[in-house]
Amino acid sequence: RKEVEQDPGPFNVPEGATVAFNCTYSNSASQSFFWYRQDCRKEPKLLMSVYSSGNEDGRFTAQLNRASQYISLLIRDSKLSDSATYLCVVMNTGFQKLVFGTGTRLLVSP
C-alpha cells in the first residue's frame, strides 16, 4: 500500500464550480500534512498546511480526519488559474521526511 494515496484525476470542472480532493495516508503516526500545487513543468509550491482543526485560505479549505487518516482540499469558485496538479504531502515527524502523493490533476475550463 502506498504511504500517501490520491486519485490522479483529471478532474474536469467548469469555472465557478466547487471541487474537492481527498488523500489518504497509511502511517497513523504522521504529524504534519500539506497540500502543494504543481503547475505543468514547474516545481511544487506549498499551497497550505493542514492542521488538526483544519484551515481556510480564501477559496481553499483543507481538513484533516485523523480517525480515518485522510486529508481533503476544497476549492470553491474555481478559476482557470487553479488548473494544476495538487500534491498531498505528509510528514512523519519521527523520520522528518516529507512523503508525497502522486498528485491529483485539476483542469478548470471556461
Partner 1 sequence: ETGVTQTPRHLVMGMTNKKSLKCEQHLGHNAMYWYKQSAKKPLELMFVYNFKEQTENNSVPSRFSPECPNSSHLFLHLHTLQPEDSALYLCASSQDRAADTQYFGPGTRLTVL
**Residues at the contact surface with partner 1, assessed by CB under 8 A:** 2, 4, 8, 32, 34, 41-46, 49, 87, 91, 96-103
Report, in Å, the least distance between residue 101 CB and partner 1. 6
Q: Are 95 and 45 in contact (CB under 8 A)?
A: no
Q: Are 2 and 99 in contact (CB under 8 A)?
A: no
Report, in Å, the least distance between residue 82 CB and partner 1. 19
C-alpha cell at 48: 497550505
Q: Which is nearer to partner 1, 14 or 81 (CB)?
A: 81
Q: Which is nearer to partner 1, 19 or 23 (CB)?
A: 23
Strands (E), 1-110: 4-6, 11-14, 19-25, 32-38, 44-50, 55-57, 60-65, 70-75, 84-92, 97-100, 104-109
Q: Which is nearer to partner 1, 28 or 96 (CB)?
A: 96
Report, in Å, the least distance between residue 67 CB and partner 1. 22
Q: Which is nearer to partner 1, 90 or 108 (CB)?
A: 90
